[in-house]
Structure 1
Amino acid sequence: MAHQLSDKSSPERAQQREVSLVNWQQAADEILDVLPRRIHEVMDPYVATTPDRTALIDDNAKLTYLELDRALGATADALRALDIRAGDRVILVSENSIPLACLLFAASRLDAWAIVANPRLSPRELDQIRDHSGARRMFFTAKVSEEAAAHATRYEAPLRDVGPFNSIGVSGLNRETKAEPVEADGAGQVAVLIYTSGTTGAPKGVMLTHRNLLFSARTTATLRSMTADDVQYCVLPISHIVGISLLTMTLMVGAVTRLVTKYNPAALAKALAEEGITLLNGVPATYQRLLEYKQTAGLQRLERGSLRLMSVAGAPLDSELKARVEKELGLPLGNAFGITECSPGISGVRAEAPRNDNSVGTLVPGIEARIVARDGTIVTNGDIGELHVRGPNVMLGYYRAPDLTAKAIDPDGWFNTGDLARFEGEAMFIVGRTKEMIIRSGFNVYPAEIEAVLSTHPDVVQCAVVGRQVPGNEEIVAFVQLLKGSSATAQDLMAHVAPELTSYKRPSEIILMDALPATSTGKLLKHKLAESLRN
């Protein structure tokens, strides 16, 4: 049973806490008992029982479970022939595709660590990952995207066959790198190394074990009542933790994963109407652009087809967008919260208990949470503090950064997410990032609240609020992207928010932009906006 730890001083409350801990451990143990040792093993039952059932579809091909198993075997053999050893790090530069999925799971078969990198990264960013990880080789799916092909050329990686796949760029062999030790237990063996820059810009390698990924995938699949009849639309990049988790959980239940190379709202609308998609996961921008497409294409209505569940994570969801999406598609839009370091699932709104607010739902089974004040005390009663979590989903640590790991995970296993949150009963609300909190005239100001109010203006596509240092204080600056063709001005937006916000929460300045800087998943890069104010 998922639960929130709280400050309980009476004997009765202490006893309740002990019962909660037992329930938490029981939930975790029940899930862990049924997990395989490695992520590639999730498909094995279906190779044996439903070999002719479709497993993967991309823009160019499809594979049954039997064909996928054979492709994995051939790909693993090819990697072995290219001197990839157990414990090596391998960088896979690719958009979502069947070749990428096979390279990822083939690395698992060899006990190598997969580093999936988005082809839209710059050469500098890829160099940082290569150098920090000590990767044995880099692989580029040149046929899948022009960006991957360009990187292959830049790294002088000739195109060759790798197992059943052709036109894979293969870099030279790093003979100096050392393989990491191999752990038989999935709790100790790293499956993927995900590089995240966070707000600092310096890349950190998040070590996620096989157990981390499998636990998170299993809990999410269970909460979504996934079966072999589902078709998952996997548009979030596999270079991101959510994409890896979606792929793993779908194969775990013997269902179909529809791999999408690049997001196109017109293609999504067509897939919903014609391809039997039952599950859709996105970031708020995924849904925002889908609604924009409907408007610009002059469609009367979007057809939802077989869609039974849609969810959103990765960025704050404003209530106005949620209401518009739900009205259009006739289904609840389930909000969820996760973080790379937690593989990623922490909480989610249950399909059977939809909400009309911006709560990120209740904790997933087997995960503990506590809210910690700035002075280190545990707070309750809806108070805001830092969210700390603990469970089998928490990363092994940051690669080659024991100091950063020690700062993030305490000796008792509590991971500090760096997010500000509060609970209303079992429902969790994310207020913002600790580092994003603005202290204005002595008052704590949470950007998410201001962003939610700005987003109620009908012409606002998305917005981001950051702080700007001024002598003796901080100012609030809002960056706003408007609908194309909108005539709204910054003054109009100021007038819109003024009645809804107390004086110290109102922006000092609103800056209109054609587009806000974002990652490939649509997550806004607030640190770049903050940096622009210092230049």
Structure 2
Amino acid sequence: MTLDPTAYPIDHVLRGAGDAPALIERDAALTFAAVEDAVGRLAGWLAGLGFAPGDRVASWLPKTRAAALMPLAAPRAGLVHVPVNPLLKRAQVAHILADSGAAMLLTHGPRAATLEPGDLAGGVRLFTEVGEGDALPRSAADPDTLAAILYTSGSTGRPKGVMLSHANLWFGAISVAEYLRLTPDDRVLAVLPFSFDYGQNQLFSTWAAGGAVAPLDYLTPRDVVKAVARVGATTLAGVPPLWTQLLASAWPEEAIAPIRRLTNSGGALTPRLVRGLRERFPAADLYAMYGLTEAFRSTYLAPALIDAHPDAIGRAIPFAEVMVLRPDGMRAAPGEPGELVHAGPLVAQGYWRDAERTAQRFRPAPGWPRAVWSGDTVVEGTDGLLRFVGRDDEMIKVAGNRISPQEVEEAVLSGGEAREAVAIGVADEAQGQAIVVVLAGDPAQEPELRARLKRDLPNFMQPARFAWREELPRNANGKLDRAALRRELLDKDMTR
């Protein structure tokens, strides 16, 4: 496809041939013409409910047809879509509704039944079914108009709403479609939540390329394997915990054969995961990607580089202006750690109704009046590739040595004694901090693990203790819940 530097309203992203499949459901496939009509009619229904332009409309749904169409229908009706992760419980949903000032909540019966009095405060109108109105034509909105608010959990505090314009969503769709080389004959299995920025982008980027999306809610990794075979999925996106589970599953040849590309976000791929995915899917291109909701996606690592540079997060994606800056705001030299700062049209409009946090995160950068400062420390190598070091609020400092949790985790996992690992710094009177590693696996493997780490890591990087679990907790987007583990460890230390 041709990289288009012009932004359009996001509902113009339906660019496939009218009779080509666009949305694959379990028992049917809707063409682009049918999806265009359905979006128009859903937008017409929303417009007929009497909301004011710019009102927020929330959806709390499994991956139904309505869930796939709302991100286009709400902006077409002049409204702002607030997708709520279906895994959240009523208390978190009530917070998002109140914080966003939502005028309506679209959900279904089972979720609506969990709501309590007060959850719909402020006059939120509840709907458990969608209607149809007269089909609205495509939006003529200014691309800078607010189109969606995505709530991101962050590491502390309540979720905050990231404001995304039509242009933010449009450029994200075109950029991903371009560097993934999506085509009209691609079929993308959408397993990530639509409330997650990349989960929603799977709809937009696939449709921008003229391909088809097959939404999937799954209970077990086996469900994913079977769905790949059923729909002939060419593309599968995931986060590291999902890849770990999928690699532990049996994959028949009919599920492996159609896959052309695997894409990772939401956490770094370890060298071990890279090796596992390359062995299981030898014909598939593997894309490692790095991003943050405040700018959607910053970098990607091309498949040709991943075997030789599995530790890299790559280079800037199309439309992204990425720089590595020192604390004084000057550019860092190659090999010098600095903060990753992202400028350009993918940068969000800020945090909803939170001017203070917006001012802290969205600030000028060299050559740019406005950029988003990620809080992530990276290094740019002489090869031009960026490598992730760690988040400022997650770095561990032992006896004056700054240690990346990711580096410890990769070392722990490289021997196969544990399935998953999270390294956390806890207070230590002698060294400032000590490393605690929470593991998923068999604690009987600890002697072998300790012996190997003693051989492979310097003294200051040796974990002080291990905490073994059958499974590690995950947040609503399927990522390892590092914040919950950190709070748990800190609470235990305080009660000792």
Amino acid corresponding to residue 268 of structure 1 in structure 2: V
* The 10-residue stretch of structure 1 (153-162 or 504-513) with the greater mean CA deviation from structure 2: 153-162
Is 1:458 matched with 2:413? no
Aligned to 2:389: 431
Contact (CA 8 Å) 1:313, 1:337: kept in 2 or not? yes
Aligned to 1:231: 187
Q: CA–CA distance in 2 between the matches of 1:39 and 1:430?
A: 31
Q: CA–CA distance in 2 between the matches of 1:351 and 1:508?
A: 37
Q: How many residues are paired up?
A: 472
Q: Which runs of 5+ in 1 are unaligned?
A: 1-28, 166-181
Q: CA–CA distance in 2 between the matches of 1:202 and 1:423?
A: 33
Aligned to 2:399: 441
Is 1:416 matched with 2:384? no
Task: Give secondary structure in 2 for the equivalent of 1:348.
Answer: strand
Aligned to 1:21: none
Q: CA–CA distance in 1 between the matches of 2:38 and 2:140?
A: 25
Identity of aligned residues (%): 28
Amino acid corresponding to residue 77 of structure 2 in structure 1: L
Aligned to 1:103: 70
Is 1:193 matched with 2:149? yes
Aligned to 2:315: 362
Aligned to 2:210: 254
Cα RMSD, aligned residues only: 2.4
Q: CA–CA distance in 2 between the matches of 1:463 and 1:302?
A: 32
Aligned to 2:302: 350
Q: CA–CA distance in 1 between the matches of 2:229 and 2:271?
A: 26
**1:503 CA drift (Å):** 0.6
Amino acid corresponding to residue 225 of structure 2 in structure 1: A
Aligned to 1:163: 131
Change (3 A) 1:108 1:416: same
The 5 Å alignment of 1:144-163 reads 146=110, 148-151=111-114, 161-163=129-131
The 5 Å alignment of 1:112-127 reads 112-127=79-94
**1:225 CA drift (Å):** 1.3
Is 1:213 matched with 2:169? yes
C-alpha deviations, 1:63-114, integer Å up to 9, x for none? Answer: 2112212211221122123223320011100122311112221101112111
**1:265 CA drift (Å):** 1.8
Q: CA–CA distance in 1 between the matches of 2:94 and 2:326?
A: 39
Q: Which runs of 5+ in 2 are unaligned?
A: 134-138, 492-496
Q: CA–CA distance in 2 between the matches of 1:333 and 1:457?
A: 23
Contact (CA 8 Å) 2:107, 2:128: kept in 1 or not? no
Change (3 A) 1:292 1:363: same
**1:207 CA drift (Å):** 0.3
Q: CA–CA distance in 2 between the matches of 1:229 and 1:249?
A: 13
Aligned to 1:322: 274
**1:160 CA drift (Å):** 5.1
Contact (CA 8 Å) 1:466, 1:476: kept in 2 or not? yes
Task: Give secondary structure in 1 for the equivalent of 2:268.
Answer: coil
**1:353 CA drift (Å):** 4.3
Amino acid corresponding to residue 511 of structure 1 in structure 2: A
Change (3 A) 1:515 1:239: same
Q: CA–CA distance in 1 between the matches of 2:306 and 2:460?
A: 33
The 5 Å alignment of 1:494-533 reads 494-533=450-489
Task: Give secondary structure in 2 for the equivalent of 1:379.
Answer: coil
Contact (CA 8 Å) 1:71, 1:163: kept in 2 or not? no
Amino acid corresponding to residue 478 of structure 1 in structure 2: V
Q: 1:309 aligns with which of 257, 261, 281?
A: 261
Is 1:336 matched with 2:289? yes
Change (3 A) 1:59 1:129: same
Change (3 A) 1:211 1:158: closer
Contact (CA 8 Å) 2:104, 2:127: kept in 1 or not? no
Question: Which structure exhibits the higher relative contact order, with contacts defined as CA atoms closer than 8 Å and separated by 6 or more residues?
Answer: 1
Change (3 A) 1:354 1:533: closer
Is 1:41 matched with 2:12? yes
Runs of 4+ in structure 1 displaced over 4 angstroms? 152-160, 299-302
Q: CA–CA distance in 2 between the matches of 1:229 and 1:30?
A: 19
Task: Give secondary structure in 2 for the equivalent of 1:208.
Answer: strand
Q: CA–CA distance in 2 between the matches of 1:160 and 1:379?
A: 52
Task: Give secondary structure in 2 for the equivalent of 1:474.
Answer: strand
Contact (CA 8 Å) 1:224, 1:351: kept in 2 or not? no
Is 1:86 matched with 2:42? no
Q: CA–CA distance in 2 between the matches of 1:333 and 1:461?
A: 21
Task: Give secondary structure in 2 for the equivalent of 1:387.
Answer: strand
TM, length-normalised to structure 1:
0.83
Amino acid corresponding to residue 421 of structure 1 in structure 2: V
**1:134 CA drift (Å):** 0.7
Q: CA–CA distance in 2 between the matches of 1:62 and 1:85?
A: 34
Change (3 A) 1:102 1:374: same
Q: CA–CA distance in 2 between the matches of 1:200 and 1:159?
A: 32
Aligned to 1:20: none
**1:193 CA drift (Å):** 0.3
Task: Give secondary structure in 2 for the equivalent of 1:323.
Answer: helix
Contact (CA 8 Å) 1:438, 1:474: kept in 2 or not? yes
Is 1:204 matched with 2:160? yes
Aligned to 1:16: none
Q: CA–CA distance in 2 between the matches of 1:459 and 1:150?
A: 44
Q: CA–CA distance in 1 between the matches of 2:189 and 2:350?
A: 30
TM, length-normalised to structure 2:
0.89
Amino acid corresponding to residue 11 of structure 2 in structure 1: H
Task: Give secondary structure in 2 for the equivalent of 1:366.
Answer: coil
Contact (CA 8 Å) 1:233, 1:280: kept in 2 or not? yes
Q: CA–CA distance in 1 between the matches of 2:113 and 2:281?
A: 39
Q: CA–CA distance in 2 between the matches of 1:327 and 1:96?
A: 31
Contact (CA 8 Å) 2:44, 2:132: kept in 1 or not? no
